[in-house]
DNA sequence: TCCTACTTGCGTATGATACGCAACAAGGAA
DNA sequence: TTCCTTGTTGCGTATCATACGCAAGTAGGA
């Protein structure tokens, strides 16, 4: 995350919050900054633990409420690659995801070719199109080393990999 | 779901189960059939209620255990479009998803152009690639009628729409 | 038909997320 | 800067999806 990018997103937060009559509290700033600065697409619990270091009094509940508020404001998106925790993304630029089915690692990747993909007619008849992106699933290199041989999908659990 | 397609998938289930030393119980057959026959990508609870009509003694727990077993066998895939319930898909052919951010409706769509998309170099350096598909998000036509004006993402809750 | 490993149903546990309420603070007005 | 109003927070607790242990049950090969 480059400095100008961070600044741009923080400014977008400020603008959007003001327009919506939403107050910019210390905890909200820190929670948003945490998502922006992380490439991990963290879940609520992970964000909570990180923010807690700088704001020792935050509650997990505030993290949840803030995340869904940011989501409602269109400032973060969610992704649910597998069971349990929902994970959040503050990268609003067009991009795509690589997801490890073993450990839950999520990484952005860019591709102008993929950004411009043409969707078939049938799709627009289902409803409006707000966003389209590619989701790639596989075993991340770290997980390949850890578990050389194994059945297809067994023992999948998500976890944030810092 | 066409008859030959159903047959093909049931046969795949039989073969795979035998190979894995997994027993083909009545409840497993019905649970699998339910996912295959539905276009809704149902969640565990929805599958449970449907199967219960034919097998009144099934337990919700058996549905959960069966779903993850089918998943481990590679017979169904999961998708988590938003908060709460994980949803299951028995369509193993290459295809893509349209997801309504309002009601959670999920619909398959096909596109040979999208099936063959080329991923950038960077992706293969993250790990192996098991699957790649396009995920489109928007407001389904039914939800557009229901809620003419509203803030971007407010009030999102998933639900199976039969 | 018999055996036995794999399954099931049930009761209960776990873990993520949500809600009600009173204390609190952001930020516009004066 | 001080004062108000209104949106926010932290906490305790509620909910709800999903998982687990165990004893009874059954698929399916011998
Ligand atoms: Mn992302
Ligand atoms: Mn599908
Ligand atoms: Zn991994
Ligand atoms: Zn909808």
Provide the pLDDT for residue B39: 85
Residues in chain A where the model's pLDDT stays below 70: 1, 80-84, 147-162
Provide the pLDDT for residue B75: 92
A2 in contact with B at a CB cutoff of 8 Å?
no
How would you classify the pairing of strands A77-79 and A87-89? antiparallel
Going from the N-terminus, what domains does chain B have, and what CATH number goes with each? 3-72 (1.10.10.10), 96-146 (3.30.1490.190)
The alpha carbon of B117 and the centre of ligand 3 are apart by a number of angstroms equal to 23
Asked if A104 and A68 touch (Cβ cutoff 8 Å), the reply is no
Spatial neighbors of B68 by CB under 8 A, at least 6 apart, are none
Asked if B160 and B34 touch (Cβ cutoff 8 Å), the reply is no
Q: Is the CB of A32 under 7 A from strand D?
A: no
A12 in contact with B at a CB cutoff of 8 Å?
no
pLDDT at position B111 over 50: yes
pLDDT at position B140 over 50: yes
**What's the CA gap between B12 and A28, in Å, rounded?**
50
pLDDT at position B152 over 60: no
Provide the pLDDT for residue B147: 65
Beta partners for residue B100, in sequence order: B138
- Encode chain A in three state secondary structure: CCHHHHHHHHHHHHHHHHHHCCCCCHHHHHHHHHHHHCCCCCEHHHHHHHHHHHCCCCCHHHHHHHHHHHHHCCCCEEEECCCCCCEEECCCCCCEEEEECCCCCEEEECCHHHHCCCCCHHHHCCECCCEEEEEEEECEHHHHHHCCCCCCCCCCCCCCCC
**What's the CA gap between B111 and A104, in Å, rounded?**
27
Nucleotide nearest to B28 (CA to C1'): C7
pTM: 0.79
User: pLDDT tens for residues A9-38?
Assistant: 999 999 999 999 999 999 999 999 999 999
User: pLDDT tens for residues B32-88?
Assistant: 999 999 988 988 999 999 999 999 999 999 999 999 999 889 899 888 655 567 888
**What's the CA gap between A41 and A95, in Å, rounded?**
13
Nearest-CA distance from A101 to chain B in Å?
Answer: 9
């Amino acid at each position: 995350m480059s400095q100008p990018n961070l600044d741009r997103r923080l400014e977008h937060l400020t603008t959007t919050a003001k327009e919506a009559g939403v107050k910019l509290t210390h905890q909200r700033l820190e929670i948003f900054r945490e998502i922006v600065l992380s490439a991990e697409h963290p879940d609520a619990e992970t964000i909570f633990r990180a923010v807690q270091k700088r704001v020792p009094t935050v509650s997990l509940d505030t993290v949840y409420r803030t995340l869904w508020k940011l989501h409602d404001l269109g400032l973060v998106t969610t992704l649910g690659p597998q069971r349990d925790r929902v994970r959040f993304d503050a990268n609003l630029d067009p991009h795509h995801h690589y997801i490890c089915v073993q450990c839950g690692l999520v990484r952005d990747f860019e591709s102008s070719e993929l950004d411009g993909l043409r969707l078939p007619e049938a799709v627009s008849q289902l409803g409006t199109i707000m966003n389209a992106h590619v989701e790639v699933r596989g075993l991340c290199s770290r997980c390949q080393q850890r578990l050389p041989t194994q059945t297809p999908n067994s023992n999948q659990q998500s976890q944030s990999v810092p």
